[in-house]
Chain A
Amino acid sequence: MAAPFDLNDDTVVVVIGTGAGGGVLANELAQKGVSVVALEAGGRYLPEDYVNDEWESFGQLAWVDPRTTSGDWRVAKDFSGLPAWIVKAVGGTTVHWAGASIRFQPHEWKAKTSYGNVQGANLLDWPIDAEEMDPWYTLAETKLGVTRTGGRAGLPGNNNYLVFEKGAKALGYKEVHTGRMAINSGDYDERISCQQTGFCFQGCKWGAKWSAAYTDIPRGEATGNLEVRDHAHVARILHDDTGKVTGVEYFDKDGNLQLQKARVVCVAGNSFESPRLLLNSASSMFPDGLANSSGQVGRNYMRHTTGSVYAIFDKPVKMWRGTTMAGIIQDEARHDPSRGFVGGYELETLSLGLPFMAAFLDPGGWGREFTSALDGYENMAGMWIVGEDMPQETNRVTLNHDVKDKFGLPVANVHFDDHPNDVAMRNHAYKQGIAIYEAVGATRTFPTPPYPSTHNLGTNRMSENPRDGVVNRWGQTHDIANLFVSDGSQFTTGASENPTLTIVALAIRQADHIAREMSTGNL
């Protein structure tokens, strides 16, 4: 039967969420002839709809449904109701992402083995490794058109990059370039090359940056095997007496509760909504939530050790011009405990427009110290820190029964405390970032605290042993054979790299597995 599918059609795979995980999975399954219903909580926007205006775009795309926060992380103080800056729209956060697409380093797949016992950290090795992931990474890089892979050229460096590069080289850094980016450096896959417009975070109006919104989603729909229902907010996953999932209940665009039957359900709502959904699906058979016999659903929330360094120079930089994140230093991404922490971090160029700089440079700051910094906005350069943070069992997403969303469902509370390793790494990165800019003549530098999280990982972790995590090597839940997790929440550990490429590679691999298991009758 061709899309659209009937609510009672129990042969379909239901994919919840349409971002880097769900959007790619839905298309890959559709390409293989599998019938898919994708349920997306947000609306549908395309490049012509995106807005080159930070706050207006935020209002258009961001997930601003209520959430609560706790813990010692500064986000809980500065942005207590907004723990993450992620997207609620068809295509998910692939609309907003900056495009940095780098593979995990081999040792990062085996964090426990590589780093040993780190007190307070719930480290674990992934059940998969670099060798197994290599072909899937290649497929992902080809899909995304990642620069500096597959013979594709790098992007040219913008002003912000040129400052960053000069400082990096002055410090002796060797692995410095304009990044491996899912932003076209030449025409590729029916999309044009980057026009150096800036506003990568607001959705690429040229379509030069890969986003599931205008690649995988329409291609999947074109097969006739994929139906995407937008404004469909999933409330609960249902199961039968044998413990297999049978469908999902969701609120449609008119607020009416619908029930879509399913042969397989794949959860890809990002690392807050995915565990929230499993927990909100608790039943008499699964009183602690679905797939939670390990007690690990919602735990080990990771958000990368982040922060920014901005610097002011005595002459203009105009950092906002051009590709936002086409610049990387990888020398510090190595594991080298002599620096005082395990794991490593990347340094990547970053800029914010004036409105967001005012909100994020020093949240809550005011007075001359603050405004004199903004007075130097035109002469400012910026970089972002992306480092591996330690998984901790107590950093977790739980249900907050005191706060309900507009459908009356308990919202996610996000608790996060920095691990001492995270703090040591961040401080090291601040020091290096400041040194980079001082080497180019910075007159003032700003070690800027983390923004609301964009890299949300780990709350349904992958594990070899069902006791240690929620899903197996395929993203299939240990407890329920026809229930999968398909987003960054399946990450066992976070590594130091921006996660999207790995989420996409895992989704391509998972689609292959699900299609095979369906054809052999195992699913």
Chain B
Amino acid sequence: MKTENSPRGLTRRQLLARATAAGAAFVTGSGFLAARDGAWATELSALKPDSFATLVQMARDIYPHDHVGDEYYVIAVKGYDTPDLAEDIEAGIEALNGAAQGRGHASYLAIGWERDRADLLRSMEDSPFFQRIRGGLVTGLYNQKAVWPLFGYEGASYELGGYIDRGFNDINWL
């Protein structure tokens, strides 16, 4: 069967195979990670694409918000994709995958149910790696101004004159 070459040198079949291994949400290539629906893509400079995909899934499993798209989780953990941090993060991801394998899964990303991934994370929640990722997300995710409207939070109001004429007491259901 004739193989179809991708621009980045991976065959389409290889790419799809890797995408499956990296979970349904992501397409990984050499040096990049993309949403399957093309909503976003990110270039990677230090972390392996599979590792970064795992990190994004881990971030979502720690703070799952079904109405918040992956792109915000990507931004929240993108800071770990640096030469200085890559070694520690790769080691953490390797340990995470090792724990998944210990439970009979091919990898963390291969675990189908969030509940099972969360159980795995719960078993390692005191580890420095977990706490580092969780702690970083508190600001990395929730301090993104673009995320705030998804929760209804309006942020600064001074520039708009406060709420004195804009509904500080507009509750209508009491």
Contacts and interface: CB of A to CB of B under 8 A. Distances in A.
Interface of A: 52-53, 55, 156-159, 161-163, 166, 194-199, 205-206, 315-318, 320-322, 353-355, 357-359, 364, 366-368, 370-371, 374-375, 377-378, 440
12 contacts: A52-B158, A53-B156, A320-B153, A322-B169, A358-B138, A359-B142, A366-B62, A367-B61, A370-B63, A374-B142, A375-B65, A377-B152
A320 B67 CA distance: 21
Task: Summarize B's interface: helix, strand, loop or mixed.
Answer: loop
B164 A162 contact: no
A317 B174 CA distance: 10
A371 B173 CA distance: 25
B67 A375 contact: yes
Nearest to B153: A354
Contacts, number: 115
A317 B143 contact: no
Contact of B174 (A55, A163, A322): A163
A163 B167 CA distance: 15
Contacts of A370: 63
* 6 A-B pairs closest in CB distance: A378-B152, A197-B162, A52-B156, A195-B162, A322-B168, A196-B168
B167 A321 contact: yes
Interface string B134-147: 10001101110001
A366 B122 CA distance: 10
B64 interface: yes
Given A353-B153, A375-B67, 12 more contacts: A159-B169, A161-B169, A196-B162, A196-B164, A198-B162, A316-B152, A321-B157, A353-B155, A359-B138, A359-B142, A374-B142, A374-B151
B170 interface: yes
A320 B166 CA distance: 13
B7 to A, nearest CB: 38
B97 to A, nearest CB: 20
Contacts of B161: 195
B168 A159 contact: yes
A82 to B, nearest CB: 13
B163 A197 contact: yes
The listed residue with most A CB atoms (<10 A of its CB), out of B138, B141, B154, B159, is: B138
B163 A321 contact: yes
B171 interface: yes
Contacts of B139: 55, 355, 359
B106 interface: no
Given A162-B174, A366-B62, A320 B154 contact: yes
B148 interface: yes
Contacts of A55: 139, 143
Contacts of A196: 162-164, 168
Contacts of A355: 139, 142-143
B118 interface: yes
B153 A378 contact: yes
Given A158-B169, A197-B163, A366 B152 contact: no
A52 B157 contact: yes
Contact of A199 (B138, B156, B173): B156
A196 B173 CA distance: 21
B151 A377 contact: yes
A199 B160 CA distance: 13
The listed residue with most B CB atoms (<10 A of its CB), out of A195, A377, A440, is: A195
Given A197-B163, A354-B142, A358-B142, A366 B173 contact: no
Nearest to A156: B169
Nearest to A440: B174
Contact of A159 (B122, B141, B170): B170
Contacts of B154: 318, 320-321
Contacts of B168: 156, 158-159, 196, 321-322
Contacts of A358: 138, 141-142
B151 A354 contact: yes
A52 B143 contact: no
A377 B153 contact: yes
Contacts of A318: 152, 154, 167, 170-171
B142 to A, nearest CB: 4
A366 B151 contact: no
Nearest to B174: A166
Contacts of B62: 366-367
Contact of A197 (B143, B158, B171, B174): B158
Contacts of B167: 318, 321
B104 to A, nearest CB: 22
A362 to B, nearest CB: 11
B121 to A, nearest CB: 8
Contacts of B147: 354
Contacts of B134: 364, 366
A440 B122 CA distance: 35
A205 B163 contact: no
B164 A315 contact: no
Contacts of A321: 154, 157, 163, 166-168
Contacts of B166: 321
Contacts of A440: 174
A157 to B, nearest CB: 6
Contacts of B173: 315
A322 B157 CA distance: 10
The listed residue with most A CB atoms (<10 A of its CB), out of B139, B143, B167, is: B143
Nearest to A367: B118
Contact of B64 (A53, A353, A368, A378): A368
A440 B174 CA distance: 8
Contacts of B155: 52-53, 353
Contacts of A162: 169, 171, 174
Interface string B93-123: 0000000000000000000000000100010
A374 B68 CA distance: 12
